[in-house]
């Protein structure tokens, strides 16, 4: 199946650990025989100008819509399958990250945080990995709905408005196809990666039906306090290095 893998990130001040993530995805794309394309801010050209102006201070929201239009464009341009992975998505086990034989797929989000002093895992879905094929009906519906929502709503909106929040709601209603091995690390789980183990990471892995092969590292939390911790760039760098060298701790 003719496949293309996309990633996008502003190249200004791109941290070394993010560059390592994009290299891991590029390596994986080559491993599975897919084309690979990295796009900078030109990604936003896939969003109507009115929305670019309206949400100029919320690039995350614009990116959530732009990736949908980009994948549709690829499918209309001759690719049979198009895949998006966020720039902070690290593929540390490329030989075992398999694309499902379905018309669409999203990643699995297990977010571990403190709730009333105890760790709790919230199981959702994410769009840090998003796949669609040429005969998929979900992606066109998703793109059109997301664009209409942004046109009608007052801004600002919550960052995950047309991303994981909308997808999780759809999944709860209809059930989306999920790549269980493509996960996400909350700040507490990432801290455990650096410590080579811990309860937050154990809970994260336990909620997945398959062993993790790739994780979104939640770059938006760099330098921000969450659940009493603040992971800095050095810790993200360490986590990437450990995952690439040793995988997840057992």
What pLDDT, on the 0 to 100 scale, is given for residue 21?
98
Please choose, from the candidates 55, 41, 44, the residue with its C-alpha nearest in 3D space to the C-alpha of residue 9: 41
Q: What are phi and psi of 18, to 5 degrees?
A: -70, -40
CATH number assigned to the domain comprising residue 29: 3.90.550.10
* Average confidence (pLDDT) over 80-96: 98
The residue range of the domain holding 198 is: 3-246
pLDDT tens by residue, 99-114: 999 999 999 999 999 9
pLDDT tens by residue, 196-247: 999 999 999 999 999 999 999 999 999 999 999 999 999 999 999 999 999 9
Kindly report the average pLDDT of the chain as a whole number: 96
pTM of the model: 0.96
Contacts of residue 130, Cβ cutoff 8 Å, sequence gap at least 6: 67, 68, 71, 83, 84, 104, 105, 106, 107
**SS3 per residue for 26-46:** HHHHHHCCCEEEEECHHHHHH
Q: Total domain count for the chain?
A: 1
Judged against a pLDDT cut of 80, whether residue 159 lies above it is answered with yes
How far lies 206's CA from each of 51, 121, 194, 245, in Å?
A: 40, 10, 18, 22
pLDDT tens by residue, 19-61: 999 999 999 999 999 999 999 999 999 999 999 999 999 999 9
């Amino acid at each position: 199946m003719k496949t293309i893998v996309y990633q996008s990130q502003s190249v200004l001040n791109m941290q070394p650990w993010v560059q390592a993530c994009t290299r891991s995805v590029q390596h994986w794309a080559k491993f599975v025989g897919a084309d690979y394309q990295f796009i900078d801010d030109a990604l936003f050209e896939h969003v109507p100008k009115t929305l670019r102006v309206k949400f100029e201070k919320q690039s995350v929201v614009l990116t959530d819509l732009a990736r949908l239009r980009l994948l549709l464009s690829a499918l209309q341009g001759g690719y049979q399958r198009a895949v998006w992975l966020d720039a902070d998505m690290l593929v540390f086990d490329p030989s075992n990250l398999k694309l499902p034989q379905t018309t669409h797929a999203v990643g699995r989000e297990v977010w571990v945080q403190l709730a009333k002093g105890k760790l709790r895992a919230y199981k959702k879905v994410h769009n840090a990995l998003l796949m669609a094929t040429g005969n998929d009906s979900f992606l066109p519906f998703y793109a059109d709905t997301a664009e209409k929502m942004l046109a009608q709503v007052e801004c600002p909106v919550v960052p995950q408005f047309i991303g994981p929040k909308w997808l999780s709601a759809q999944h709860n209603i209809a059930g989306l196809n999920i790549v269980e091995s493509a996960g996400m690390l909350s700040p507490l789980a990432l801290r455990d990666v650096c410590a080579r183990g811990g309860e937050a990471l154990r809970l994260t892995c336990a909620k997945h039906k398959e062993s993790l092969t790739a994780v979104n590292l939640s770059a938006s939390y760099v330098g921000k306090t969450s659940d009493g911790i603040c992971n800095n760039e050095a810790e993200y760098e360490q986590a990437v290095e450990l995952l690439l060298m040793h995988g997840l701790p057992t």
